[in-house]
Amino acid sequence: MLCCKAEKPHGKFIMVDKKNSLVETSDVLKQNLQKLDVLTKRFVTVVQKKKSLNPGLQGPGQDLTITASAAYWQNMTKNPYKILEHQVEFWGKTLQNMVDAQHAFLAGDTSTLGSKQKDARFENPLWNTNPYFNFVKNQYLQSSDLIKSTARNIDGLPEREKKRLIYFTDQIVEMMAPTNFLGTNPDALELALDTNGQSLIDGLENLIADLEANDGELIVRLADDKAFEVGKNLGTQAGKVVYRNNLLELIQYSPKTENVFEIPLVIFPPWINKFYILDLKKQNSLISWLVSKGYTVFVVSWVNPDESYSEIGMDDYITDGYLQVIQVVKSITARQQINAIGYCIGGTALGLTLAYLNKTQDSSVRAATFFTTLTDFAQQGEFSPFLQNDFIDAIEEEVSKSGILKSFIMARTFSFLRSTDLIYSPAIKSYMMGQTPPAFDLLYWNGDGSNLPGKMAIEYLRGLCQKNGFYSGEFEVNRTPVALDNICIPIFAIGCETDHIAAWKDSYRGIQLMGSKEKKFILAESGHIAGIINPPDKNKYGYYLNQDLTLNSESWRKKASYLSGSWWPEWEKWVKFYSGSQVEARKEGSKSYPPLSDAPGSYVLKKS
């Protein structure tokens, strides 16, 4: 008997003998079972070697459960009809869901199936045409709505505890989505049948490889790490390392113009991630764009700390980092002032540095720019669940043992703020469907994080995030109390509309509290990275501009003008005003600071 068989490698259909086809299928299955045995042994080995992680880093403490349960039963006692009303409505929807499924099974009529809710997880047609999958999907969505609404409608909880309850409830709901399980994921099941189980074998291989790469911790690989190499196809802008100490390498980029602006521009990226986000490739490199505009650009490449850095604190980053870099750049360029850019926590520390310079009457920085920077932590936004004592106590205990806050802990925290996009969807594609992660430079950078010194991490979390010491003036730099209103130089700040790490309203509020007379704020479309890395020739995202920074964030946004295209030219006009006249282009380094190596240097290459 003949049948039609797809030969996947060549994309052709050929006629084969069904008996032979069954033999071939049996051979493939046998080979896969042998692979499964090998993979199972590898899995057992890596799991046995996994080091236990502090339970406090895995979820909320029992206090949240106890508090939420007490509030729920108190609500039930005060207004039982409200709870019962929700339950009865849920029961009715569940019954209707079952009736529709039974009708479709018995009558073969799928016209009653489907769902009005649009959800990217349920794009496979079987979710709407197959009674089994349709029932599973609808029941999940109905249960999700009930659980989420219950958490959001509990009265009597403090606002901070309610936010934590909502966050962790949402995480559980996302985790239990039917797409996350093989038996209820039609895409994965269809592919497994089409490939005789090869997709599942490949997926298991991907899972074990990720576990092995992270000492047993499950961290989903988001990008094909074999597709990129820093210095080869990422971070390729020409330049030299002109200074190095235990915390950083300072890179000066080669000029592209005959003349450059008098005052150099120094970029302080976050030390949680690597600096090459600003130089991924020529088409979207902010560094390349600035050099082509005639700026002498320096960037700090922070060290990736190991256990020996356990006692390095915020003072060290400011003194041996910011203050030292400023002096080196002034010496190399023979100028008394620089302009500075700080990104994320790099901007927070820049703010502390500027306040300290003001207190010590040092005018080395003429003007400063803040990219998605938090300085007032009164509102903790989506990070609120991770800034409570149970979580930070666990971090403190962890760093007391290891000396560092390992990069995967921070990466996992950020990922759970967008768990569907950064955890579950990639995991499904990699582990259930056996796909190789995409060759995506931004996702590669996202996975190339850095550790944090233990002392610095706790000072930041306790002193700035929890106690809001920069706002109150209680945070000290070199034993000198500093406050937001100590920042008095001209400043320009960019917030990003959908930023889940540094919410723009909180960033805006911090800028309002600074003492500068000359202040400008832009709200860029998109998020923490895409909103900043938005080159003009892409014309992808626009921005909002309003000169009146006396308004609260809501009013500022309503009265702001929308402008299409990148904000880079708008900002560049501003920084040009503070960059002085044109001088002959500078060579990299100087007699006192000769070039040490080519960019991107060696610190950026160290993996966690």
Active-site residue set:
344
Residue showing tokens 């233990």: 454
Instruction: Give 511-574 as a 3 state SS string.
Output: HHHCCCCCEEEEEECCCCCCCCCCCHHHCCCCEEECCCCCCCHHHHHHHCEEECCCCHHHHHHH
SS3 211: helix
599 DSSP assignment? T
Tell me how far apart the alpha carbons of residues 459 and 466 are, in angstroms, rounded to a whole number.
Answer: 10
Rounded to whole angstroms, the maximal C-alpha distance in the chain is 91
Contact of 177 with 424, CB cutoff 8 Å: yes
Between the CA of residue 577 and those of 275, 342, 569, 581, what are the distances in Å?
A: 26, 19, 13, 9
Element (H, E) at 368: strand 365-371
Tell me how far apart the alpha carbons of residues 1 and 284 are, in angstroms, rounded to a whole number.
Answer: 58
Bridge-based pairing of strands 239-244 and 597-598 is antiparallel
Q: Is 19 exposed, middle or buried (0-12, 13-18, 19+ CB in 10 A)?
A: exposed
Q: What are the residues whose beta carbons fall under 8 Å from the beta carbon of 228, sequence distance 6 or more?
A: 234, 439, 441, 444
Contact of 493 with 522, CB cutoff 8 Å: yes
Between the CA of residue 597 and those of 240, 593, 601, what are the distances in Å?
A: 6, 12, 6
Q: Where are the alpha helices (DSSP H) in 153-273?
A: 159-175, 186-194, 198-213
Between the CA of residue 608 and those of 35, 215, 408, 442, what are the distances in Å?
A: 30, 12, 8, 18
Bridge-based pairing of strands 491-496 and 597-598 is unpaired
- In this structure, what token pair is assigned to residue 488? 């008095």
- In this structure, what token pair is assigned to residue 290? 């600035």
369 DSSP assignment? E
Element (H, E) at 77: helix 62-78
Tell me how far apart the alpha carbons of residues 386 and 500 are, in angstroms, rounded to a whole number.
Answer: 13
Long-range Cβ pairs for the range 29-38 (8 Å, 24+): 29/196, 29/197, 32/196, 32/197, 32/198, 32/200, 32/201, 35/201, 36/201, 36/204
Instruction: Give 306-349 as a 3 state SS string.
Output: CHHHCCCCHHHHHHHHHHHHHHHHHHHHCCCCEEEEEECHHHHH
Between the CA of residue 496 and those of 16, 21, 26, 435, what are the distances in Å?
A: 58, 56, 55, 32
Contact of 240 with 309, CB cutoff 8 Å: no
